[in-house]
């Protein structure tokens, strides 16, 4: 491996653009229009790094995330993950390899998990697709995954509706980890949870990142969440980056007016928001 390859970002986004065509109404003669959801966006995430895309709803951050994992196609620009180009034109073998290298954790685990599958069956399905493990090693890997995300062994037989919100999100994280990816895309992964359970999941994600040398692309509207889990941030507004830099710096001295407005939405505006392990109440530990 050359020195250039060794230092290349694990996720590289260059000049990314996405246009959505709005179809003309059947009852109007107005011409079709296009909405630019993302405009000329560029960023990189180093191996083991964590970058947050921060902005309000409609800023383009989730569209970007979906393009990065291959769920949407870009209108312009390029996306590379571990040196492989993400896009509709990629060969089947490349797309399958990318699916093993980058996984997404969605906002609402109740929607993203199959309601008919137990935790065990869900994880077994992923392992069958992404690995050559035989039944006994698969069983061991499933038990390892469940333990690593803090779920009790009895949850293996549970359906999503039988789990709490925090437990469902832990199951979704276990599913994302099953293929041993290098990158996790976290799309508002704690925003649907109670505050105390959010703290648990953020702590878990930080521990998993260190344990497995994971890289994170964090999608959030909350700079306080970004502070706890990301090193760098790109603040997005109307599809464009308005400010980029270390999260600490953006919180301490934001330059863009939009970033300043986002910061005013953080509880106890102006606080230092020290990066630390978040205390979790005993009740939350039971619920999550």
Please tell me the predicted confidence (pLDDT) of residue 195: 84
Q: Dump pLDDT digits (tens) for 145-174.
A: 999 999 999 999 999 999 999 999 999 999
Q: Which domains does the chain have, with CATH numbers?
A: 9-23+34-287 (3.40.50.300)
Alpha-carbon distance of 260 to 250, in angstroms, equals: 9
What letter does residue 23 receive in the DSSP assignment? P
Q: Which of 77-91, 151-165, 237-251, 272-286 has the lowest mean pLDDT?
A: 272-286
DSSP of 219-242: EES-HHHHHHH-SEEEEEETTEEE
Q: Which residue has the tokens 């306080």?
A: 224
Mean pLDDT, the chain, whole residue set = 87
3-state helix vs strand vs coil in the chain, percent to 5: 40, 25, 35
Q: Dump pLDDT digits (tens) for 212-244.
A: 999 999 999 988 899 999 999 999 999 999 999
Q: Which residue has the tokens 């196609």?
A: 73
Average pLDDT for residues 133-141, to the nearest whole number? 95
User: Tokens at residue 131, please?
Assistant: 């690995």
DSSP of 33-62: EEEEEEEEEEEEE-TT-EEEEE--TTSSHH
> Residue 249: left (phi > 0), alpha (psi -120 to 50), or beta?
alpha
Instruction: Give the orientation angle of helix 165-177 with respect to helix 195-212, to 10 degrees.
Output: 20
pLDDT at 275 over 60: no
Looking at the DSSP assignment, which residues form a beta bridge with residue 185?
104, 217
Q: How confident is the model at residue 119 (pLDDT cuts 50, 70, 90)?
A: very high
According to DSSP, the β-strands at 215-220 and 102-105 are unpaired
């Amino acid at each position: 491996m050359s020195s250039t390859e060794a230092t290349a970002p694990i996720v590289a986004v260059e000049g990314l653009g996405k246009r959505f065509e709005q179809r003309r109404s059947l009852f109007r003669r107005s011409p079709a229009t296009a909405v630019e959801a993302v405009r000329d966006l560029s960023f990189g995430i180093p191996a083991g790094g964590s970058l947050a895309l921060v902005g309000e709803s409609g800023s383009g951050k989730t569209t970007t995330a979906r393009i990065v994992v291959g769920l949407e196609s870009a209108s312009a620009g390029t996306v590379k993950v571990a040196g492989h180009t993400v896009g509709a034109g990629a060969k089947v073998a490349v797309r399958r390899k990318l699916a093993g290298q980058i996984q997404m954790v969605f906002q609402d685990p109740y929607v993203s998990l199959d309601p008919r599958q137990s935790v065990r069956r869900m994880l077994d399905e992923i392992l069958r697709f992404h690995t050559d493990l035989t039944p006994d090693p698969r069983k061991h890997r499933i038990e390892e995954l469940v333990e690593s995300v803090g779920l009790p062994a009895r949850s293996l037989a549970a359906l999503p509706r039988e789990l709490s919100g925090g437990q469902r999100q832990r199951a979704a994280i276990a599913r994302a980890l099953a293929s041993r990816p290098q990158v996790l895309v976290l799309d508002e992964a704690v925003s649907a949870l109670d505050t105390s359970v959010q703290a648990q999941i953020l702590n878990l994600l930080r521990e998993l990142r260190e344990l497995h040398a994971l890289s994170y692309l964090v999608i959030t509207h909350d700079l306080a969440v970004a502070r706890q889990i990301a090193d760098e941030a790109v603040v997005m507004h109307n599809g464009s980056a308005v400010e980029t830099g270390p999260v600490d710096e953006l919180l301490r001295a934001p330059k863009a007016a939009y970033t300043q407005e986002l910061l005013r939405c953080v509880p106890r505006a102006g606080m230092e928001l020290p990066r630390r392990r978040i205390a979790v109440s005993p009740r939350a530990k039971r619920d999550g």
